[in-house]
Amino acid sequence: MSLWGGRFSEPSAAEFKQFNDSLRFDYKLAPYDLQASLAWAQALMLAGLLTADEHQQLQQALEELRAAVLEQPELPLQTNEEDIHSWVESQLIEKIGATAKKLHTGRSRNDLVATDLRLFCKAVCGELITANLAAIKNLLAFAERYQAAALPGYTHLQRAQPIMAGHWALAYVQMLQRDVSRLKEAMKRMDVCPLGSGALAGTTAPLDRQALAEALGFRHACENSLDGVSDRDFALDLLHSASTGMMHLSRIAEDVIFYCSGESGCFAMSDRISSGSSLMPQKKNPDLFELLRGKTGRVFGHQHALQTTLKGLPLAYNKDMQEDKEGLFDALQTYLQCLQMLAFAVPELSVNEAHARQQATMGYSNATELADYLVSKGIPFRDAHHITGEAVVYAQQQGKPLEELTLPEFTQFSAKIGDDVYPVLELDYGVQQRSALGGTAPSSVRTAIKHASDWWHAAQAASKHVRQARLSDVDKICDLIAYWAEQGENLPRSKEDVLQGIQSFAVAEIDDEVVGCAALYVYTTGLAEIRSLGLFPSAQGKGMGAELVAFLLGKARDLGISRTIVLTRVPEFFGKLNFRLTVKEKLPEKVIKDCDICPRKDNCDETALEYLL
């Protein structure tokens, strides 16, 4: 059925219909169109535009359709409708008759499709964050396994300096961390609901658009109807995030392809992620990583295509915007699949440690150590650099590495070179010297792994059940605190205290219901404490207490806090989260703040633990 037939006296030509219709790809929006329609029906009833009975009929029919689509996602393709909105309406009319025709009251396909697409993008954005975190987890495991395995590092694809394989993996952890951050920022910006903007000028229906937005899981309703129906910045944001993420995957793929090559041989791939040649029996090809690299251009192209489509459009909606979907759907599915394949492939990689170490010593990669040695003897670095360059040229002519030159050979370049130069030229010495923050020394790599693991746990918590508390959570937080105060586990807090400190709280949710909370209290000395941690009994045993702690530790890190404490009667719980015992008497801030009002101050049975960030 057509949603616009009354104005026309002839049916659409078959050729035009084939060119114009979008159901073949926008059927993927069916779950979100049904979700938006359920919320719209509720809003129409509250506005007095539907009776309770009509609303009940629509709700039941929409829920039946939602279940059918969930079971069979391609169900809409069995019809010849123009688009997903036409399909939903025709199915409703078939189910409940004339009542279904009231659902479109006060709305347009323009604001509906913009809403559907935002809901879709929010859902996929969450999947992409989860997939990035899975890849990061496996890269961290690789870094942990090979934190002290030497590897040749390159600039300009020439051997430069030795690095640790763990340090190499952590570079990509950093990139994927930024990708997660970028996706979260994109999700924040897309969290605006255009439903109720009508075709372009707004709806005449007397409904509460902010309540409608919240019913759909959006933070806000858009404040301009023209922008609401024509904005696709959120899709561009997501395509940019996908393009940048794919660029990072392409770079790691290129590195792996090189390190697995016969020319390097530092990495090995398992047979599970390799393929062979139909002609050359000896070949073991890195096809998985080549595909990661190759699919990057495809995602780049979709971003550029949508930017080009949008660049000359006048306000408000134009049919050009139908072209926003196919490329977006393909780009996001490609990015998601590539992330999943990277997470799958990393555990199948190994470092050929002995060979990689030997490779790391080649190419005069210890030349910088010789220059630094000369600086330690009082020679200005620029002169030391020149002397070292001359020594390298001489060693190359002799066919020797620097460390095999004799002392008389060295002293022809500088009389300040002594026997103590030889330990400096050893691989381990040079690597160990790079122990500053961000360096490749194994000690620095271990620290970086800890920081990245802490970040991962916080990000994992935020991607599941935990979020920053809002003012609307205050009553639930008070209920939780009161419950555990009655059990004698937490100190009571007034509602005023919770309101004033709401920015310090995080909450855990199940099915959008707050079931747990915790707060990060920062003392004037810079010490932080996790307190008021509690879950309703029905939510216990699901790992959400650990998620709350991880989330707040991440918040402490973002604030630049170096030490976080907790006083608890369940020290074993925090011990599993890598807190370590400390002495209560070393916590004067806590004593001053809370201990004097604690009913157990004269018979304290709490254990103090700390976490160093």
**374-427: per-residue pLDDT in tens?**
999 999 999 999 999 999 999 999 999 999 999 999 999 999 999 999 999 999
3-class SS string, 433-469: HCCCCCCCCHHHHHHHHHHHHHHHHHHHHHHHCEEEC
307 and 380: one domain?
no
Q: Residue 8 — pLDDT band, cuts 50, 70, 90?
A: confident
Looking at the domain assignment, is residue 455 inside a domain? no
pLDDT-derived band at 304 (thresholds 50, 70, 90) equals very high
Structure tokens at 185: 């920022």
Residues 61 and 121 in one domain: no
Q: Can you give the CATH number for the domain in which 97 is found?
A: 1.10.275.10
For residues 401 and 477, give the distance between their C-alpha atoms in angstroms, rounded to a whole number: 67
Q: What pLDDT is stored for residue 590 in this prediction?
A: 61
Q: What is the pLDDT of residues 239-248, one digit of tens each?
A: 999 999 999 9
Q: What is the mean pLDDT of residues 440-454?
A: 96
Q: Number of C-alpha atoms within 13 angstroms, CB side, residue 25? A: 15
Does 243 fall in a domain? yes
pLDDT in tens, 404-415: 999 999 999 999
Q: What is the mean pLDDT of residues 198-205?
A: 96
Q: What is the mean pLDDT of residues 522-551?
A: 93
156 noted as active-site residue: yes
Total residue count of the chain as it appears in this document: 613
pLDDT of residue 515: 96
pLDDT of res. 575: 92
Average pLDDT over the chain, rounded to an integer:
94
Over range 446-453, report the average pLDDT: 95
Q: Can you tell me whether residue 492 is helix, strand or coil?
A: coil
Looking at the structure, do residues 281 and 260 belong to the same domain, yes or no?
Answer: yes
- Of 3-7, 269-273, 426-430, 540-544, the poorest mean pLDDT is in 3-7
**Whether 255 and 118 share a structural domain:** yes
Domain stop point among 304, 327, 358: 358
Q: Which of 50, 76, 105 is the last residue of a domain?
A: 105
Q: Residue 536: inside a domain, yes or no?
A: yes
CATH number for 341: 1.20.200.10
Q: Are 365 and 154 in contact (CB under 8 A)?
A: no
Clarify whether residues 318 and 340 are in a common domain.
yes
Mean pLDDT, to the nearest integer, of 237-260?
A: 98
Helix (H) or strand (E) holding 355: helix 353-360
In this prediction, residues 301-310 reach a mean pLDDT of: 98
List the CATH number of the domain containing 482: 3.40.630.30
Give the residue ranges of DSSP H helices in 231-324.
233-260, 287-310
Tell me if the pTM is above 0.75.
yes
**pLDDT score recorded for residue 1:** 58
- Domains identified in the chain, total number: 4
Residues 541 and 421 in one domain: no
Q: What CATH code is carried by the domain that includes residue 386? A: 1.10.40.30
pLDDT at 587: 81
Domain that holds residue 606: 465-612
End-to-end Cα separation, the chain, in angstroms:
61
Is residue 115 predicted with pLDDT exceeding 70? yes
Residues 261, 270, 275, 277: which is the catalytic one? 277
> Quick check: is 104 catalytic?
no
Claim to verify: residue 87 and residue 115 sit in the same structural domain: no
The answer to which of 69-73, 120-124, 155-159, 487-491 has the lowest mean pLDDT is 487-491
- Together in a domain, 505 and 384: no
- How many C-beta neighbours within 10 Å does residue 557 have? 16
pLDDT number for residue 489: 85
* Residue type (1 letter), 290: E
492 within a domain of the structure (yes/no): yes
In a domain, 240, yes or no: yes
Which pLDDT does position 278 carry in this prediction? 86
Average pLDDT over residues 251-258: 98
pLDDT digit string, tens, across residues 14-73: 999 999 999 999 999 999 999 999 999 999 999 999 999 999 999 999 999 999 999 999
- Determine, yes or no, domain membership for 296: yes
- Of 312, 339, 358, which marks where a domain is finished? 358
Residue 297 has pLDDT above 60, yes or no: yes
Q: What are phi and psi of 195, to 5 degrees?
A: -65, 130
Whether 91 and 166 share a structural domain: no
pLDDT, position 488? 84
Percentage of the chain exceeding pLDDT 70: 96
Both 497 and 569 in a single domain?
A: yes
Same domain, 87 and 172: no
Do 171 and 314 fall into the same domain?
yes
Does 599 have pLDDT greater than 70? no
pLDDT at 464: 86
Q: Please, which pLDDT band fits residue 600 given cuts at 50, 70 and 90?
A: low
Residue 433 lies in a domain: no
pLDDT at 207 over 70: yes
- Which one, of 524, 576, 568, lies nearest residue 546 by Cα? 576
Cα separations in angstroms, 573 against 492, 529, 541, 576, 609:
22, 16, 12, 5, 11
pLDDT at 602 over 60: no
pLDDT exceeds cutoff 60 at 539: yes
Region 307-332 average pLDDT: 96
Residue 134: partners with Cβ closer than 8 Å, 6 or more residues away: 339, 340, 343
Residue 270 above 90 pLDDT? yes
Q: What is the pLDDT of residue 605?
A: 78
Q: What is the model's pLDDT at position 593?
A: 59
Please check whether residue 542 lies inside any domain of the structure.
Answer: yes
